[in-house]
Copies of this chain bind each other. A is one copy, B any other.
Amino acid sequence: MNQKMGKASVKPDNPVYILNSASVVGTKEGDGPLGLLFDKVGEDDMFGCKTWEEAESSLQKQAVGLALDKAGLVPEDISFIFAGDLLGQSIATSFGISSFQIPLLGMYGACSTCGESLLLGTMAVAGGFADRVLTVTSSHFASAEKEFRFPLEYGNQRPLSATWTVTGSGAFVLTGDACDGGMKPRARITGATVGKIVDYGLKDSMNMGACMAPAAASTLEQHFVDFAGQPGDYDKIITGDLGKVGRRVLTDLIRDRGYDISEQYMDCGIEIYDGDTQDTHAGGSGCGCSAVTLSAYILKQLQEGSWKKVLFMPTGALLSKTSFNEGMSVPGIAHALVIESV
């Protein structure tokens, strides 16, 4: 029986498998420490399109196409697609994946959307409502700067607490079959914790790590409580895009609640760029950051047996330019998934 665990968590009766996945990134990500691991690196960040938004749509389209190819599937093999991005009304998704003609459930959880879509995809498969689902999220540095801060042409300076939005998209095929198409899956999802909105009243859109860290601490603590768990249960506890500032805030906040995660802790935003040479300041961020790092790096470690079990927790800052201009805070949210090797 599928179960609700504690206050905010779920546990499928049988694991849901990540059959295969794909990552497509831009040039800066290709030049970073994980560069060689991505499935596809664009020649430039326009990806042959006329606008930044179209370029981001193209990222999603390529990631979905590649994930299907790698899983040996065609769009008709997928029941539903769970997808989202950071742009207003999720237009990267609307124009990115429509050609596949897969029934769509659109998500919005800011940069936590990668976690949210995997979580709801897991529920759909484990609940018996779908044989296979696909999840995809994306972000693009230039479309995000235009959406949330300043157009690139303005050339504004970025403080050291700012993160650099990852140009990238990650797509995942989930299945309930441990040997779907005779293929060994990349990993399995065995539990999840749904986050709530946490708002410490911070208003700095150039310090998203600090805005999101309290939400990450809340979800992490709830996860440990719901599963009667400890940091040591995991080889890695991985946030999406807290960056260097958010990392400190999270480790402090969760230590105050009785959990020391310093040995297990890792952040996709810190892994994806070389902060010393790539001028990315606090690290990477965006809906694509955790998605491409999961596909290219984390699942690889799980497949190779370097890690057996991780807690993957994409973090989202619920920022908009309208609320920012109206003087509102930047609330955070984070969703966590237990991902284990097969």
Contacts and interface: CB of A to CB of B under 8 A. Distances in A.
A224 B199 CA distance: 45
A90 B108 contact: yes
A194 B104 contact: yes
Contacts of A333: 104, 106
A276 interface: no
A253 interface: no
A126 B98 CA distance: 28
A8 B103 contact: yes
Interface in A285-331: 318-323, 326, 328, 331
Contacts of A318: 89-91, 94
A88 interface: yes
Contacts of A322: 53, 87-88, 91, 147
Contacts of A90: 108, 318
Interface in A223-281: none
B4 A130 contact: yes
A95 B331 contact: yes
Interface in A34-51: 51
Given A51-B326, A86-B89, A320-B89, A107 B104 contact: no
Contacts of A79: 4, 8
Contact-residue size bin, chain A (C-beta under 8 Å from the other chain): 35 or more
Interface in A107-127: 107-110, 116, 119-120, 123-124, 126-127
Given A4-B131, A127-B123, A331-B98, A194 B103 contact: yes
A95 to B, nearest CB: 6
Nearest to A84: B108
Given A108-B108, A127-B127, A88 B4 contact: no
Contacts of A320: 87-89, 91
Contact of A102 (B108, B126, B196, B323): B196
Contacts of A323: 53, 89, 91, 94-95
Copies in the complex: 2
Contacts of A129: 2-4, 10, 123, 126-127
Contacts of A108: 84, 89-90, 106-108
A98 to B, nearest CB: 4
A103 B195 contact: yes
A199 to B, nearest CB: 6
Contacts of A97: 197
- Give the most central of A87, A105, A319: most B CB within 10 Å: A105
Contacts of A10: 129-130
Contacts of A84: 108
Interface in A159-213: 194-197, 199
A122 to B, nearest CB: 9
Contacts of A119: 105
B326 A53 contact: yes
A80 interface: yes
Given A95-B323, A97-B197, A123-B123, 4 more contacts: A80-B194, A87-B322, A95-B331, A103-B196
5 contacts: A8-B103, A54-B326, A95-B323, A98-B197, A105-B120
